[in-house]
Chain A
């Protein structure tokens, strides 16, 4: 039987499998799947893993996630207050860095795996590895050095420090976030994660001008990737578009997987990557809440027709909003399996 891992490996190599790999990121749906409140659910890594395995088994897509919520990274760095909501992802409620002096006080744990806030993630990874290891790609979410500060002090204050602030605390914070990034990648890899989504809105020209990207974002991207290597790393800009920077990122880092934005032109992205890596076409999943079956099928067909010719293509979603009806999740996935099938003529 062909597994999700087989499909992913084949796609990366440019070989054919039964169909293209399909990644569906059901994260916020976990508590509902387990019939628990978000607080109960996220308190136990076994629940998170169990929900991932159940939803994957029900829908048949190829990946599973070890992600609890993005703000978990802030908890590993001292955040004590998380705002839970039944209908969406938990949020950082109180920032760790309130003044620039707090940057001095910020402590990066020596070994993340010994940190109490990481214990449940390790449980989750262990269960996923036991049940799905080698068969389904296990995904982890890692913020880049330049993005993590937004979680620690808020995007507004981080942009203020980044563009107007004094250099010393800015560089000190970036250095600490880089240190954390390297340790986090190691912890996830050691725990069994195969796919590491390197999340970096500052790697998109939707966020910063090209000049700033070249002078500031790119050097930090190079530093991050050089420190951990490219194995399993996926370039992703948090749903911001990045076709304009693919060529230079590829040349300077060697990263081989690009998880585009729904705002990117898939065919153009694929032309730029030009067989040097895997192109991931990502559906605008916010529209899945209201679209009907026919609209969903038409959109999936359009995306796959743009990305599948020539292989090295994956169909994916963003972080699927909680409100997407189950029938629409099914409609999207069935269309992806159908249109992404490798017939002899594809």
Chain B
């Protein structure tokens, strides 16, 4: 039965059909599938499948990423409320757009996916100063800072990832906190994340959630 549910859910995701995805999930619960299984055996594998599809250059687009994240976020929130016990948090992340950047779509996709991965994520909003990124990361004991930048000057500039790196160095936090960057300029220059001294990057929000989860594990080991 679970195989059929997984198949139907994945098809709905690829068709960017939120209503159908929610219907599949609701029917599954009615048929006796536990909310825990819906999240860990249906929603999360669907996310990983999309990451795999993207890495294999299969057709995947911004709308699909956005819908995937929103559906994952909605289903996870609904299912967690029905869990027998509160799920363990895998890690903690703070995320925002670089100073001077008002583009919020990318981080929203990442946030939706991270929640489904049981990662506690705080949205710092747009136009975030480097100090705020680091202060919030320290205050929340985050393992990862996510910096989204849609413009070249905010991606490469002195007030983005470069400044966050400098602050982490000055405060001796580099072994405790990793930096991940994302946004259009990084897609057009896949070495740019090194130029801005980030630890990692991802070409899209869905993949970013997987990379963040890996970074969290790396810090916690």
Contacts and interface: CB of A to CB of B under 8 A. Distances in A.
A59 interface: no
A304 B103 CA distance: 34
Nearest to A205: B61
Interface stretch (A84-92, A121-129, A177-185, A187-195): A84-92
B115 to A, nearest CB: 16
A207 B104 contact: no
Contacts of B41: none
Interface string B94-115: 0000001111110010000000
B59 interface: yes
A91 to B, nearest CB: 5
B9 interface: no
A28 B70 CA distance: 35
A159 B105 contact: yes
Interface string B129-163: 00000000000000000000001111011000000
A284 B15 CA distance: 31
Contact of A92 (B64, B102, B152): B102
Nearest to A71: B102
B49 interface: no
A319 B185 CA distance: 12
A91 B153 contact: no
Interface residues of B, number: 31
Interface in A212-235: 212
B59 A205 contact: yes
Contacts of B102: 83, 91-93, 154
Interface stretch (A19-27, A134-142, A264-272, A286-294): A286-294
Contacts of A154: 102-105
B100 A88 contact: yes
A57 to B, nearest CB: 26
Contacts of B16: 163, 209, 212
Nearest to A238: B184
B105 A155 contact: yes
Nearest to A322: B153
B63 A290 contact: no
Contact of A85 (B15, B153, B185): B153
Given A163-B67, A209-B64, A87 B104 contact: no
B188 A207 contact: no
B189 A287 contact: yes
A102 interface: no
Contact of B63 (A87, A207, A239, A284): A207
Given A83-B102, A88-B152, A91-B101, A159 B188 contact: no
A321 B152 contact: yes
B18 interface: yes
A323 B152 contact: yes
A163 B63 contact: yes
A164 B154 contact: no
A88 B99 CA distance: 12
Contact of A286 (B66, B100, B189): B189
A289 B152 CA distance: 10
Contacts of B127: 83
12 contacts: A83-B100, A83-B102, A83-B127, A85-B153, A88-B157, A91-B100, A91-B151, A93-B102, A164-B18, A208-B62, A209-B63, A284-B188
Given A154-B102, A154-B103, 14 more contacts: A83-B127, A85-B154, A88-B153, A88-B157, A155-B105, A206-B61, A206-B62, A208-B63, A210-B59, A212-B63, A262-B188, A287-B188, A321-B152, A322-B153
Interface of A: 28, 83, 85, 87-89, 91-93, 154-156, 159, 163-164, 205-212, 239, 262, 284, 286-287, 289-290, 321-323
